[in-house]
A and B are shown apart, each in its own frame.
Chain A
Amino acid sequence: MTPLDNVADLRDTDLNDVELDRRLASTWATPKGVWGALSTVDHKIIGRRYIITAFVFLALGGILSLAMRLQLAQPEARFIGPDRYNQIFTMHGTNMMFLFAVPVMEAMAVYLVPLMVGTRNIAFPRLNAFSYWMYLAGGLLLWIAFAIDTGPDVGWFADVPLSGPQYAAGKRADIWAQMITFTEVSALAVAVELVVTVFKQRAPGMSLDQIPLFVWSMLVTSFLIIMAMPAIMIASTALILDRLVGTQFFNPAEGGDVLLWQHLFWFFGHPEVYIIFLPAVGMVSTIVATFTRRPVFGYLGMVMALIATGILAFGLWVHHMFVAGLPRLGESFFTASSMAIAIPAGLQIFCWLATIWAGRPVFKTPFLFVIGFMVIFVIGGMTGVMVASVPFDTQVHDTYFVVAHFHYVLVGGAVFPLLGAIYYWFPKITGRMMNETIGRWAFGLIFTGFNLTFFPMHILGLQGMPRRIYTYQPEMPWSGLNMFVSLSAVILAAGFLLFFIDAIRSALSGPVAPANPWCASTLEWATSSPPPAYNFSRMPVVGSLEPLVDNSGALPVASGLFVDRRELVVTSVVGALPEARESSPGDSIWPLWSALATTVLLIWSIFTPWAVVWGSVPLAIALTGWFWPKGTKEDDA
């Protein structure tokens, strides 16, 4: 025992570096064992869990796509029947959108944003733990249902009346609708945490014009989630009510409206594309800046593009409904907005190109994925401008042209930057480097395989091949290209397999990473790899957009925080001026109990409306336990 062990309210100013690290570790570390793992609120542990879970869902969704390609490789194949095929394409879309794309982007933010803004934990860390358990429960619900032949078979957007009580017997559509509730509750929780973290927990001095672009992108994305996701939750709840208790929201015969579903779904569904894409913009900007050894050209323009894209995203939804019979004049308003959003998207591309042009590019694996992203996303953007035109969209609607377009946008626009981001931040997250040679091979296979798989789908679509068909006749002119696409999908799958092997192998036995292996400029690289439980020994103070470049010596720090309880600095929204010291909640098992109680309520309510009444009892008990005053500073926070 040291003399300082008996001192109450010990602050970081009283301690040397070694003693400070020891005490902070004791205050912030997650206890070992199962109980510690279940009750942790460390954003890094929860972020890692999110990322791993999302990639497991990516692998499962990829296996489904290979099954579809095997079925479609030849005309009149008998590998998968129509009923199972309906489930598979629904599962593939639902899984990739709701269980992979959105959660993985939020997961990266859960891990990185607190580090990038220089704080010790995310805001509302118990809510963060709750959100992960909800996400996991939603994913398990969907996949267990599929395993027992009750997987949804109504497409990832579950259009009524196909998904309504008249045409979708059984519980398959209910599983889809309730899975939405799980994942959207989870996404909304994380979005709220990120907004508060970015607005109120930035390092002193990190004013709005000094926020890293990835953090900006996640801030805008979080607002999109908060504004878009309630629409789909209302829609899916209304669908469950139509199916379970006989409301008639979507039944025209009883005064309902079929198109109401499409409006509600796509009011969420189109911003969803940008919920996936905008984080990728932040990732690309970060990687480009690091591997060109200069700040991103046009920081102001990039921020403007992020915000403008985020707002415009809410005025595009009708371009998914161009064949629904709306007035042409009304549709043209959405064509106009769809064209207008090309302006901020184009601005971003030109800013990155200017950065590369003026910088000294280093072609490491993360940067290769960024180059791949630019090529693929520009192609996807151009076909996007094509389908924004009503006459063209009317011709190619529900054909493979659209399948090709949205895979170019989503895989090119989100998955390529994400893979680059994994290679880039892997050393920070695991403390180990990924293999550069294998990374280049993985990039080559994925880039080649992707283009060979999806580019021919444009031609298949122009030849009239509809989406969601489980087979086709030999007389159709599609078999040769379909065989080619299926063989190319094997190359793509091989690339992903190599990526997974590299990630697992490197996490177990890769070379140990230094704190800042890429000589990057943002705050997450100012701490060790992987970071300690408390992120930073002393709170960094920021005076520029590139704090690690402009302070190549020691980073200025703020002091005065208590070390015997979890505490962080709260700063002002615009200038990030220090305002207060705030306690950060400690570990708790109650978020898990609350998530379990919510899970019981939601799944039970698929079968009887009384579940909402009786299921709320355990949920109320769990929430009472969660919020019951426990007399510690952390619990009062």
Chain B
Amino acid sequence: MRYGGLSVPPLAWAVGTQLGQITPYIDCRQQMVWTPAFCSALLLISVAGTAASRLAPTPVGPTERFVVDAAVLIASAFVFALVLQGAASMLLDPCQH
């Protein structure tokens, strides 16, 4: 839980970036909205991971606190990237090349 910020948002972003290369083809062919759907889901997962880090019991030592604080900050950068990706998925036509 404590280090969720360090792992969950970067993983969610990596998964999203990969899916972003695959789902536009499916969305275009089948007229579906998989891309915005997975973007939203990954964004929620990232926010949950960050919150879990923040709300976990306070670490005892300064080094552990440093790691947790760094994790939350790192998580926020990836949440921001996921927000941008989600916005793009709602604005662009998946068939456009």
Contact = CB atoms under 8 A, between A and B. Distances in A.
Residue among B13, B70, B87 with the most chain A CB within 10 A?
B70
Secondary structure at chain A's binding surface: helix, strand, loop or mixed? helix
Nearest to B62: A209
A330 interface: yes
A327 B70 contact: no
Residue among B61, B62, B85 with the most chain A CB within 10 A?
B85
Interface residues of A, number: 32
B14 A314 contact: yes
A335 interface: yes
B96 interface: yes
A314 B96 CA distance: 24
A308 B6 CA distance: 10
Interface string B60-73: 01111011011001
A314 B93 CA distance: 25
Interface in B3-53: 10, 13-14, 16-17, 20-21, 24-25, 27-28, 35
A315 B24 contact: no
A318 B96 CA distance: 16
A318 B84 CA distance: 16
A402 B67 CA distance: 38
B63 to A, nearest CB: 4
Contact of A329 (B17, B20, B84): B20
Q: How large is the interface on B (under 10, 10 to 19, 20 to 34, 35 or more residues)?
A: 35 or more
Contacts, number: 106
A300 to B, nearest CB: 6
A22 to B, nearest CB: 38
B1 interface: no
Contact of B74 (A209, A307, A315): A307
Contacts of B63: 207-209, 574-575
Contacts of B89: 329, 332
B56 interface: no
A320 to B, nearest CB: 14
Interface string A150-172: 00000000000000000000000
Interface of A: 207-209, 300-301, 303-304, 307-308, 311-312, 314-315, 318, 325-330, 332-337, 339-340, 343-344, 574-575
16 contacts: A209-B62, A303-B70, A307-B70, A308-B73, A311-B10, A326-B21, A327-B28, A327-B96, A327-B97, A328-B93, A329-B24, A329-B96, A332-B91, A334-B17, A340-B77, A574-B64
Given A307-B70, A329-B92, 7 more contacts: A207-B62, A303-B70, A311-B10, A329-B88, A333-B88, A574-B63, A574-B64
